[in-house]
Amino acid sequence: MTLLLDQNISHRLFATLTGEFPQISHVREHGLSTADDTVIWNFAQTRGYTIVTKDRDFQQRSLLLGAPPKVIWLRVGNAGTDEIGKFLKLQKQAILQFEADGALALLVLP
């Protein structure tokens, strides 16, 4: 599973989550910190990443275009970095099932 954290999620989560999700990265690592959604979408699509985001635009794009890439939309409001990290760890099983199901394009995590 290769997760790509969007710019609206702290890059500090990368270090927190590598134990649970070994193939995780952040857009910052790929020089995409200021890239628009289309560039991030295309990057994830061509490299097999699943985008993890708090951005509703990716949710809408996923509904319109489908996968790839897959999108995990976090509806966690203004949760802090630690809270998001704990939340993603708790959701690991749901994320793994989502990744394994080729028919799914969008996972909404409330």
pLDDT tens for 78-110 read 899 999 999 999 999 999 999 999 999 999 998
Q: Is residue 2 included in any domain, yes or no?
A: no
Instruction: State pLDDT tens for residues 34-72.
Output: 999 999 999 999 999 999 999 999 999 999 999 999 999
Q: Choose among 100, 101, 86: nearest CA to 109.
A: 86
Its domain, for residue 52, covers 7-109
Number of domains in the chain: 1
Asked, for residue 62, whether it belongs to a domain, the answer is yes
Q: Can you give the pTM of this predicted structure?
A: 0.95
77: confidence class by pLDDT, cuts 50, 70, 90 = confident
The answer to whether the beta carbons of residues 64 and 17 sit under 8 Å apart is no
Does the structure show a pLDDT above 80 at 1?
A: no
Residue 1 forms part of a structural domain: no
CA dihedral (20, 93, 61, 56) positive or negative? negative
Q: Is 80 a member of any domain?
A: yes
The more confidently predicted of residues 80 and 1 is 80
